[in-house]
Amino acid sequence: MSQPIIEHLAIWTTAPKGIKKLRELILELAVRGLLVPQEVNDEPASELLTKIAAEKARLVSEGKIKAPKPLAKISEEEKPFDLPTGWEFVRLDDLSQIITKGSSPKWQGVSYTDNENDVLFITSENVGGFSLKLESKKYVALKFNEIEPRSILKNGDFLMNIVGGSIGRTAIYDIEAVANINQAVCLIRCFPELLNSRFLLNFFNSKICISYMFDKQVDNARANLSMGNISKFLIPLPPEQEQQRIVAKVDELMQLCDRLEEKQNGSEVMHRQLVSCLLTTLTEATDAQAFQAAWSRIAANFDCLFTTENSIEQLKQTILQLAVMGKLVPQDPNDEPASELLNKIATEKARLISEGKIKKQNPLPKISEQEKPFSLPNGWEWVRISTFTQIGTGSTPSRGNPLYYSPAEISWVTSGETQQDFIFETREKISPLALKETNVSVYPIGSLVVAMYGQGKTRGQVSELMIKAGTNQACAVIQFIEQSEAHRKYIKLFYKKAYEELRSNAAGGAQPNLNVGKITLTVIPLPPLAEQHRIVTKVDELLTLCEQLKTKLATAQTLQQQLAETLVQQAVA
């Protein structure tokens, strides 16, 4: 019965995809006869089957439908579960007038139109779970008598997708317009005056039926249901009166799921906004007193605030933001200022240039006030990244020359590999000849690799070389003059913080790109070297805590999921 659903709402709403699982459970209980009580006075399903058989025989005798081919008797081994008294397992063909797939019109001279006076053309894209999706309609310029008779729909027909990724999705055609369907959609016409169409619709969209469909796939490489297999589907058929009670209870419980989902979504939005607002008070604090007050508010509610993956990611980004603003660790007036570090690097760069080890750079534009998003503490400097580093890139040796890739001796990085924090191994290697004859350069261990373009989230990602390697042209490589670990780790955490800003600087059409010039001009808030060490130590400590929070959250979610699955097992046992 539905009592386990009502009693354990807290579990359903907190478990991962809990409400989705609850909807699936409601349908499973419905089609197993476990959702509403049986009534001894209900006319059994066997009587209903007798009425359907008589009506089907009448339509055959009048020539309105074809006589069905005899199907194999349902064996005990085929029955997936026990049914309540008064129910019957029956094949779908015994409940149907027609089971057929559609057909495309004769396309000579026929094309899609937007004219609503033409014939509506239904494809698998229009068939959703439970309902039609007609936001985007297609029409074909055909006369009624030009439509394949078996493709003409009637109000109340079931439409089931039988090809591709949406296989099994079933809806009721609930409009009066003349329509045609294509061969990716199956038409199932039952006896709506005798059967409750909503009960059958619930069954078709239940996990029990979907699992049965995939057991009957003709082609595993491309999901495809045949008409013969569909006609053999086993339907658990309740008495007519119980069908009505089941449909009413399913509607009631699905509305409850809608309300829970709406409340959950609203709570999640409010939670994200609250976390964002409180974390912003940290980054916008103008003095130590305001910062401490903002942190006290967060600390007092820490266990309530950071309870989702999104909120923990927000916290991580705030930690990085505070780090590069000089608000994460205290300043020490005895630290040698960043200007002195820059002077030492400039001297070292001049030496390397004079020895011909690096090239002299073109003068960099002065940093404008608009490029400085916040004020810096004493001892810090705004500086362009290429002032204290060397920026390079790479290329892709011609794929048409196999000698560029054999012998495969030199590690070669592509932009997709920047999704890793560290690069210990590359998917491809190139030959010494490629290094000699192309623009590939080998960069030292500790260089940072920034993806300038690539699919999805790739653009703007940063990784660190743990091997000597070259790169393709989609990567910018940052080599350091100052070799201390803390300096390298600070610049790396800056790029992780600046991921979205960096991506927004990209230009281009469908796939915007960065370039070496834009990377070269990146403006960095640079602390004293001693403070860089304190910052990266504190960031490592706090990000470790964030990972512990994520692990704790994942453990709790796993437990909630196990509880939800246990409830499902108990409910259907």
Extents of the domains making up the chain: 43-238, 367-527
Give me the mean pLDDT over the 437-448 stretch: 95
DSSP 172: E
Question: Taking Cα atoms as reference points, which of 61, 55, 131 lies closest to residue 97?
Answer: 55
**Alpha carbon distance 357, 550 (integer Å):** 46
pLDDT tops 80 at residue 249: yes
Higher pLDDT among residues 478 and 263, named by residue: 478
Amino acid at 88: E
Residues forming beta bridges with residue 189, ordered by sequence position: 98
pLDDT tops 80 at residue 208: yes
Q: In angstroms, how far apart are the furthest CA atoms of the chain?
A: 103
pLDDT tops 90 at residue 41: yes
What was the pLDDT predicted at 510? Answer: 57
Concatenating the DSSP letter of every residue in 458-494 gives -TT-EEEESS-BEE-TTEEEEEESS--HHHHHHHHHH
Concatenating the DSSP letter of every residue in 50-101 gives HHHHHHHHHHHHTTSSPPPPP-PPPPGGG--S---TT-EEEEGGGG-SEEEE
Concatenating the DSSP letter of every residue in 409-433 gives -EEEE-GGGGGSSEES--SEEE-HH
Question: Taking Cα atoms as reference points, which of 533, 563, 459 lies closest to residue 15?
Answer: 563
| Verdict on whether the full-model pTM lies above 0.75 | no
Give me the mean pLDDT over the 355-370 stretch: 90
What was the pLDDT predicted at 163? Answer: 87
What was the pLDDT predicted at 412? Answer: 96
pLDDT band at 212 (very low <50, low <70, confident <90, very high): confident
Q: What is the percentage of the chain residues whose pLDDT exceeds 90?
A: 55
Q: Do domains 43-238 and 367-527 have the same CATH topology?
A: yes
pLDDT band at 24 (very low <50, low <70, confident <90, very high): confident
Strongest mean pLDDT among 28-37, 47-56, 446-455: 47-56
What was the pLDDT predicted at 11? Answer: 66
Top-level class of domain 367-527 = alpha beta
- Helix intervals (H) in 335-412: 338-354
pLDDT band at 369 (very low <50, low <70, confident <90, very high): very high
Mean pLDDT of the chain: 88
Return the minimum-mean-pLDDT range out of 16-20, 54-58, 398-402.
16-20
Residues forming beta bridges with residue 428, ordered by sequence position: 412
Higher pLDDT among residues 150 and 187, named by residue: 187
CA angle 120, 124, 127 (to 5 degrees): 80
Contacts of residue 188, Cβ cutoff 8 Å, sequence gap at least 6: 92, 96, 98, 99, 157, 158, 159, 160, 230
**What are the φ and ψ backbone dihedral angles of 393, each rounded to 5 degrees?**
-145, -160
Concatenating the DSSP letter of every residue in 179-211 gives EEE-TTEEEEE--TTTS-HHHHHHHHTSHHHHH
**Alpha carbon distance 525, 536 (integer Å):** 14
Left, alpha or beta for 287 (phi > 0: left; psi -120 to 50: alpha)? Answer: beta
**Exposed, middle or buried by CB within 10 Å (0-12, 13-18, 19+), for 269?**
exposed
pLDDT tops 60 at residue 18: yes
What was the pLDDT predicted at 439? Answer: 92
Contacts of residue 182, Cβ cutoff 8 Å, sequence gap at least 6: 102, 103, 104, 121, 122, 123, 124
**Alpha carbon distance 199, 51 (integer Å):** 18
What was the pLDDT predicted at 564? Answer: 64
How does pLDDT run across 372-427, given as a tens digit for each residue? 999 999 999 999 999 999 999 999 999 999 999 999 999 999 999 999 999 999 99
How does pLDDT run across 518-567, given as a tens digit for each residue? 899 999 999 999 999 999 999 999 999 999 988 888 887 777 777 666 66
43-238 CATH pick, 1.25.40.10, 2.40.170.20, 3.40.50.360, 3.90.220.20: 3.90.220.20
Contacts of residue 518, Cβ cutoff 8 Å, sequence gap at least 6: 505, 506
pLDDT tops 80 at residue 230: yes
pLDDT tops 60 at residue 139: yes
Left, alpha or beta for 456 (phi > 0: left; psi -120 to 50: alpha)? Answer: left
